[in-house]
Structure 1
Amino acid sequence: MIYTCTMNPAIDLFTEFNSFEPHVVNRSVFEDYQANGKTINISFMLKKMGIDSVATGFLGGFTGTYIDDELNQTGIATDFVIIDGITRINTFIKAGAAEYKAVNRGPAISLAAQAQLIDKISKLTGKDMLFVSGSLPRGVDDSILKRISQLSVQKGFQLILDVSSNALLSCLEDHPYLIKPSDEELAAWLGVKPDSFNSEAQLIEAAEKLLKKGAQRILVSRGEKGTMYVDKEHILFTTAPKGEVVNTACAGDTLLGTFIGSRLKNKSLEDALVYATAAGSSTAFTAGLSDLTDVPELMKQIKLTTHLKGAEES
């Protein structure tokens, strides 16, 4: 079974305005409420591909109930730890060419609740896959990531990590199945400036350093520049399709979910990466998560480049 763990979920409110000015009442021309959180998005995308998963993490209050209900109504099973406090609401504002993101900190999580989550994860087996993504809530130390990666070794489940914390580096020795940094996160982990990655060769060198530390696979989201996938045998790049960017908040989650979903459906690495790149862009071009209907057309714009042991093929 596939499990998705979101420790700091949210309701995301997407709003659009003709203009957005301070000190006056700004009235929206569009609004949409969505149950959200990085791996919650992955559960939604997997479901759109016909793949079941179980969503876990921490939920609390009326907002937590809303998220749980939305997942259940979509046919996604849930197994959250119920906490005191209220799950956060984030607001994303689009006004002309400008995009504003107001992200709240969310409730503090007790040690008892954290222990409950670890207990749930400890019951996973070698037949399972676990996604852990997103920021950590208040009260949760990033050492929990190492605890989860150790459990993946002890219990044998496949672990996929999409986190910005430097604690990820200590998890690499536990050989996670896949990690998904952005190019900015990759630069931060290696202590270099993001603009130093101005060539594919530099990105490849950086990714290979993380492979040597223990990562089995690396999927790098690069926004309008496309994506990169690297493992011990493959180095793949894609370009990104063109379109009007409406919301970038969930594009990386869509990329990751549809890439893994495509591989679970036995698509080749190349086909999975092109499909996922198109799906991630599709989400960026809409207010919420892509419904995947425009993905085939977007795929036609994408160029895939394969690097093999120093030789390059297109």
Structure 2
Amino acid sequence: MIYTVTFNPALDYVVRLDALAPGKINRVNYENVMPGGKGINVSIVLGNLGHTSCALGFIAGFTGSALEQLVSAHGCKTQFIRTQTGMTRINVKIKAGEETEINGIGPHITPDELQQLFNQLDQLVSGDILIISGSVPSVLPSDMYEQIMARLSGRGIEIVVDAELDLLLNVLQYHPFLIKPNNHELGAIFNVELTTRDEVIPYAQKLQEKGARNVLISMAGEGAVFVSEKGEVLQSPAPQGTLVNSVGAGDSMVAGFVAGWLESNNDAATAFYTGICTGSASAFSADFATRDEVNALLATL
């Protein structure tokens, strides 16, 4: 079974308008409410690719109920923990020439509610895949990722981590199955600027030296790089297409990689190319990638 964890999910209220005029009434020409959060994005795309997953995390209030309904409507299983204080946040994404985001706070999570999440994770078994991604809200311990990795270490659970800086670096000692920083996050770790795929490779290998088993680096329009635990180095430019929406493209790449890995009996090349085409298919669409869209891009490589 595949599980995703989203510590601070959201309802994303997406609006588009020709121009944003601060201090005045603005009327939108498009609006949509979508379930948000990196792990939730992964679960939705996995479902689009035909793979069932279970979304874990915390919800609260009427917005939490709406979020759960939307995630379930995408065919995902959910085992969200309902907190007693606050509400699931609403993130407003304004697209008016340039993109502006206004992100909500999220609910308060008590130690008892956090323990409920740990109890859920304790039920995972060898062969399960766990994907933990995104930021950790300030109400939770800053070493949240480390606690999870340490708790599950040695149990045969393949853990995928998509996080930044210390959240990522501090879990490498537990040898995650896959990590997926982008080139900017990778550069920030080593205090360098990385713009080409060739520049990325040695720094991805440095993360392996620190403990990561497989390293997938997303690079938006430049494509992606993959360094496997067997020493394989794969790289590819991004498929050709028109950028429509970059939100969730990295999460889609994670979902595509996992789907490709499972469908090919652990073939790194299939997983890599499925990942890059899934990320691109989401970027070229107003919604998340579908299987047909991914297959169409795979046929162009």
Q: Quickly name the TM-score band, shorter chain normalised.
A: over 0.9
Q: Which residue of structure 1 lines up, in the alignment, with residue 269 of structure 2?
A: 270
Q: Which residue of structure 2 lines up, in the alignment, with residue 131 of structure 1?
A: 131
Q: Which residue of structure 2 lines up, in the alignment, with residue 294 of structure 1?
A: 293
Structure 2 vs 1, CA of residues 86 and 207 (structure 1 numbering), >3 Å: closer, same or farther? Answer: same
Structure 2 vs 1, CA of residues 243 and 22 (structure 1 numbering), >3 Å: closer, same or farther? Answer: farther
8 A Cα contact 2:49 2:290, kept in partner: no
Aligned mates of 2:149, 2:91 — CA distance in 1: 29
Q: Which residue of structure 1 lines up, in the alignment, with residue 212 of structure 2?
A: 215
| SS of corresponding position for 1:294 | helix
Q: Which residue of structure 1 lines up, in the alignment, with residue 201 of structure 2?
A: 204
Unaligned runs of 5+ in 1: 303-314
RMSD: 1.8
Counterpart of 1:270, as a letter, is A
Question: CA shift at 1:165, angstroms?
Answer: 4.3
Within a 5 Å distance, the mapping from 1:1-314 to structure 2 comes to 1-83=1-83, 84-96=85-97, 98-190=98-190, 192-193=191-192, 195=193, 197-232=194-229, 233-266=231-264, 268-302=267-301
8 A Cα contact 1:46 1:257, kept in partner: yes
| SS of corresponding position for 1:293 | helix
Q: How big is each residue's C-alpha offset from its partner over 1:226-253, in whole Å with a ceiling of 9 and x where there is no partner?
A: 1111123211111113333232121100
Aligned mates of 2:127, 2:17 — CA distance in 1: 47
8 A Cα contact 1:259 1:276, kept in partner: yes
Aligned mates of 1:199, 1:165 — CA distance in 2: 20
Question: CA shift at 1:39, angstroms?
Answer: 1.0
Aligned mates of 2:92, 2:287 — CA distance in 1: 12
| SS of corresponding position for 1:166 | helix
Unaligned runs of 5+ in 2: none
Q: How big is each residue's C-alpha offset from its partner over 1:142-183, in whole Å with a ceiling of 9 and x where there is no partner?
A: 211111111221433111111114032121111111011011
Question: CA shift at 1:4, angstroms?
Answer: 0.7
Following TM superposition, the consecutive aligned residue runs of length 4 or more in structure 1 with deviations greater than 6 angstroms are none
TM-score (norm 1): 0.89
TM-score (norm 2): 0.93
Question: CA shift at 1:107, angstroms?
Answer: 2.3
Aligned mates of 1:297, 1:157 — CA distance in 2: 32
8 A Cα contact 1:142 1:165, kept in partner: no
Structure 2 vs 1, CA of residues 213 and 170 (structure 1 numbering), >3 Å: closer, same or farther? Answer: same
8 A Cα contact 2:264 2:270, kept in partner: no
Which region of structure 1 is more displaced relative to structure 2, 262-271 or 226-235? 262-271
- The total of aligned residue pairs comes to 298
| SS of corresponding position for 1:104 | coil
8 A Cα contact 2:63 2:89, kept in partner: yes
Structure 2 vs 1, CA of residues 22 and 292 (structure 1 numbering), >3 Å: closer, same or farther? Answer: farther
8 A Cα contact 1:240 1:301, kept in partner: no
8 A Cα contact 1:109 1:137, kept in partner: no
Aligned mates of 1:24, 1:170 — CA distance in 2: 46
Counterpart of 1:200, as a letter, is R
8 A Cα contact 2:13 2:92, kept in partner: yes
| SS of corresponding position for 2:109 | coil
Counterpart of 2:8, as a letter, is N
Question: CA shift at 1:208, angstroms?
Answer: 0.8
